[in-house]
């Protein structure tokens, strides 16, 4: 029984630490080299994985086929967690959103603006996009 329980727990633990980092490493380890990033973390709006030190949710700490050690193509990486933003079979949409260019409007780490937006005052555009996604789901 102990063996079967450990077989159930191991995949869960591995999934949470897919890069086999030491338990206390997480964001602390990243910040030990990316010292200039600490200033960015002083912003009032911080993307949740960054806030919780889960850099490896988006980045591979060892090697990657994508720039900036990203786990996925930049046009797909946000959709790993935010898949409901762009509805399936949308008839129309904001070009930037449909192309997956989230970083044209959002900072993937932290911002002075709500919703980690790059510019203040763009909240209304974001609200309209989300309302349309609800009204015309894929």
| DSSP codes of every residue in 92-133 | ---HHHHTT-GGGTB-SSEESSGGGBSSTT-HHHHHHHHHHH
The whole-number pLDDT of residue 44 equals 97
The whole-number pLDDT of residue 6 equals 38
- Is the confidence at residue 23, as pLDDT, over 60? yes
The whole-angstrom separation of Cα 127 and Cα 114 is 12
The whole-angstrom separation of Cα 74 and Cα 68 is 10
The whole-number pLDDT of residue 26 equals 75
- Is the confidence at residue 109, as pLDDT, over 90? yes
The whole-angstrom separation of Cα 105 and Cα 18 is 30
Number of helices (H), then strands (E), belonging to the chain: the values are: 6, 2
pTM: 0.70
Considering Cα of 77, then 104, then 87, then 85, what sign does the dihedral take?
positive
Q: For the purposes of burial, counting CB atoms within 10 Å of the CB of 24, is it exposed (0-12), middle (13-18) or buried (19 or more)? A: exposed
**What confidence tens digit (pLDDT) does each residue in 116-131 have?**
999 887 656 666 666 6
The alpha carbon of 77 is separated from its chain's Cα centroid by a whole number of angstroms, namely: 7
**What confidence tens digit (pLDDT) does each residue in 36-87 have?**
888 999 999 999 999 998 898 999 888 899 999 998 988 889 988 888 777 7
Considering Cα of 121, then 124, then 127, then 128, what sign does the dihedral take?
negative
The whole-angstrom separation of Cα 63 and Cα 110 is 24
The whole-number pLDDT of residue 96 equals 85
- What band does 134 get if pLDDT is binned at 50, 70 and 90? low
Across the chain, mean pLDDT equals 78
The whole-number pLDDT of residue 130 equals 64
């Amino acid at each position: 029984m102990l063996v079967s329980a450990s077989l159930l727990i191991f995949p869960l633990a591995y999934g949470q630490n897919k890069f086999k980092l030491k338990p206390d490493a997480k964001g602390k380890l990243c910040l030990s080299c990316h010292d200039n990033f600490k200033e960015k973390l002083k912003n009032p709006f911080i993307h949740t994985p960054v806030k919780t030190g889960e850099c490896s949710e988006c980045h591979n700490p060892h090697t990657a086929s994508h720039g900036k050690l990203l786990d996925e193509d930049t046009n797909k990486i946000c959709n790993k967690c935010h898949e409901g933003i762009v509805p399936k079979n949308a008839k129309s949409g904001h070009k930037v959103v449909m192309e997956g260019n989230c970083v044209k409007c959002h900072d993937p780490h932290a911002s002075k603006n709500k919703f980690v937006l790059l510019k203040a005052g763009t909240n209304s555009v974001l609200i309209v996009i989300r309302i349309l996604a609800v009204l015309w789901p894929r």
